[in-house]
Amino acid sequence: MELEDIESIIDEYGSVIYKFCIKLTQNKEDGEDLYQQTFLKAVELKSRLDKNKNPRSYLISISIKLWKNSVRKSARRETIAKSVNIDEYESIEIKDTKENTEQNVIKKEIEDEVNLVISKLEEKFKLPIIMHYTAEMPLEDISRALMIPKGTVKSRLHKARSIIKKELEAMGYEGL
């Protein structure tokens, strides 16, 4: 595969991969780093990348592998020396005062709570949820990327949704 082909793949799937990376890392800066690493790795592995064999799934699986390696490294470093995160909370930006700001704040709060619950899920439930809802991947692609049967993907999505629902109801969000 030529670099021009990789550029066309970036143009076609770049935004999906970007959203996926940010959702996976739960941090914009880390997500952007993962996004860049994913496409650098894709350039390294351009001989394996086939434009006709679902490159989105291949790129998502590269992202997952890079993310898992990063998590392992961080865990090892954390056992050696504890780190402190200064930027734990992001500020809410209100761009237009004409919009219903109360609705925007409530929507942002619910979104933050859902993201918090997702971030606490076990990896086997977190990955399919993010892949399905953020990257909008079909079950078959998730199955291939994670190398598990399609039925397992379905059951993990179902289990993850029920865990998220229970957690949100426990937080006081009724009827979700």
DSSP secondary structure letter of residue 98: T
Indicate the residue type of 162: S
Token match 């995160």: residue? 85
Helices 150-170, 101-120: axis angle to 10 degrees equals: 120
Residue 94 has a pLDDT of 47
Domains of the chain, each with CATH number or no CATH: 1-84 (1.10.1740.10), 97-171 (1.10.10.10)
DSSP secondary structure letter of residue 92: P
CA distance 170 to 104: 22
Q: For the chain, what percent of residues have pLDDT higher than 70?
A: 86
The 10s digit of each residue's pLDDT in 140-155 is 999 988 999 999 999 9
Residues 6+ apart with CB under 8 A from 158: none
Residue 99 has a pLDDT of 57
- Cβ–Cβ under 8 Å, residues 164 and 122: no
- Distances in Å between the Cα of 60 and the Cα atoms of 16, 65, 144 are 9, 9, 11
Q: What is the mean pLDDT of residues 81-101?
A: 54
Helices 139-146, 123-133: axis angle to 10 degrees equals: 140
pLDDT higher than 50, residue 89: no
DSSP secondary structure letter of residue 135: S
The 10s digit of each residue's pLDDT in 128-142 is 999 998 888 899 999
Q: What is the mean pLDDT of residues 93-113?
A: 71
CA distance 115 to 152: 23
Residue 124 has a pLDDT of 93
Is the C-alpha dihedral spanning 153, 154, 155, 156 positive or negative? positive
Indicate the residue type of 149: P
